[in-house]
């Protein structure tokens, strides 16, 4: 039970980092730019790792076609619906207010093969591609071989095609397969059999290494260990999540699990609500970064709305009606 809750907590932490990462207005202070650079080193690898782990942990014996249809319903139908909504909103508002990445009528066609409505939607294409690929590898050894291939693809200096976000899929497959192989080869069982003190030391050293490399890179411009950061970030967030799973209680745990349960709808809609908030602040001539305090207040407001508004949309609309459940991946 703790293991499952720890992954829920990890997903909640990760989606909040995603929302923070997509707020980067012009004139942002340097410390905030460094914070975003740090977040981008590990937050999407963490998402991919968690997706691979959960996929393998709950893998059911079902036909490939049934599995793919489920993923189309879960991922691609909401992707198309949200893309149409975002493009339509941009088309309606971009002439009268500031809109990031303006669109054209052709965008309604491009969404079928590119994350045209918003680049952040690459994640859905990449995740869907992995769900098409990984079930074809039926055994532990075959999946381990795929993991090795993914490592090679990740570090080779080659660019994949942009269509269907295949470039991102090639880059991120390694982290998805890390999660898959952790389940395949019983990493959790191995760690649980360790002496408690040994396990605690490993956890402490992992988090300490992650913190040290992060501080050296982003506070002192000492560029060391960059390739280790995604891996250490995944491990460190899982350590923190496991700690919270043990000790977080009551309202705090309930709040975290609520964010986790709505993580997909937050991912789909957070930039829309962030965009509305930024446009409103700019329209009211409030969105002027004239100091760290002002910037922090604005950032907290925009990020808060980027998390809370999709949750309200999820609870009050998405989960209430049959049609919205179908359109947004619940059925």
Q: Residue 302 corresponds to which tokens in the numbers above?
A: 């925009």
Assigned domain for 189 exists:
yes
Q: State how many domains the chain has.
A: 1
- C-alpha closest to that of 289 among 32, 94, 93: 32
Assigned domain for 290 exists:
no
Residue 70 C-alpha from the chain's centroid: 20
Please report, in tens digits, the pLDDT of each residue of the chain (331 residues total). 445 788 899 999 999 999 999 998 878 888 899 999 999 999 999 999 999 999 998 887 889 999 999 999 999 999 999 999 989 988 888 777 767 778 889 999 999 999 988 888 999 999 999 999 999 999 999 999 999 999 999 988 888 888 999 999 999 999 999 999 999 888 766 555 556 778 788 888 999 999 999 988 887 777 777 788 999 999 999 989 988 888 888 888 889 999 998 999 999 999 889 888 887 777 766 544 456 777 888 899 999 999 999 999 998 888 888 888 888 876 5
Domain hosting 120: range is: 42-193
Assigned domain for 203 exists:
no
* Report field, pTM of the whole predicted structure over 0.95: no
How many Cβ atoms sit within 10 Å of the Cβ of residue 60? Answer: 7
Assigned domain for 107 exists:
yes
**Amino acid 19: pLDDT:** 94
Assigned domain for 47 exists:
yes
Q: What is the rounded distance in angstroms from the CA atom of residue 210 to the CA atom of residue 46?
A: 14
Assigned domain for 301 exists:
no
Q: What is the rounded distance in angstroms from the CA atom of residue 278 to the CA atom of residue 302?
A: 7
Distances (CA, A) of 75 to 11, 69, 87, 121, 128: 17, 10, 18, 11, 7
């Amino acid at each position: 039970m703790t293991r499952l809750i720890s992954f829920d907590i990890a997903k909640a932490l990760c989606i909040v980092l995603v929302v923070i990462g997509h707020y980067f207005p012009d004139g942002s202070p340097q410390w905030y730019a460094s914070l975003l650079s740090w977040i981008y080193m590990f937050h999407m690898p963490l998402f991919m790792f968690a997706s691979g782990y959960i996929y393998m942990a709950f893998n059911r014996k079902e036909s490939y076609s049934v599995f793919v249809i489920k993923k189309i319903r879960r991922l691609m139908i909401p992707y198309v619906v949200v893309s149409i909504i975002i493009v339509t909103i941009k088309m309606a508002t971009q002439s009268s207010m500031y809109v990031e990445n303006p669109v054209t009528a052709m965008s309604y066609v491009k969404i079928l093969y590119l994350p045209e409505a918003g680049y952040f939607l690459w994640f859905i294409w990449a995740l869907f591609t992995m769900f098409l690929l990984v079930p074809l590898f039926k055994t532990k050894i075959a999946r381990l071989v795929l993991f090795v291939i993914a490592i090679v693809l990740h570090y080779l200096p080659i660019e994949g095609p942009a269509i269907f976000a295949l470039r991102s899929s090639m880059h991120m497959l390694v982290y998805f397969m890390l999660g898959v192989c952790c389940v395949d080869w019983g990493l959790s069982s191995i760690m649980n059999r360790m002496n408690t003190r040994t396990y605690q030391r490993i956890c402490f050293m992992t988090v300490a290494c992650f913190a040290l490399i992060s501080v050296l890179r982003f506070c002192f411009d000492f560029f060391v260990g960059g390739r280790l950061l995604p891996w250490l970030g995944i491990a460190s967030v899982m350590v923190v999540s496991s700690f919270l799973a043990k000790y977080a209680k009551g309202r705090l745990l309930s709040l975290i699990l609520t964010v986790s349960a709505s993580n997909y709808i937050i991912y789909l809609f957070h930039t829309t609500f962030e965009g509305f908030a930024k446009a409103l602040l700019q329209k009211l001539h409030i969105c002027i970064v004239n100091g760290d305090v002002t910037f922090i207040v604005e950032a907290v407001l925009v990020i808060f709305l980027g998390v809370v508004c999709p949750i309200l949309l999820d609870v009050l609309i998405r989960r209430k009606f049959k049609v919205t459940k179908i359109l947004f991946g619940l059925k």
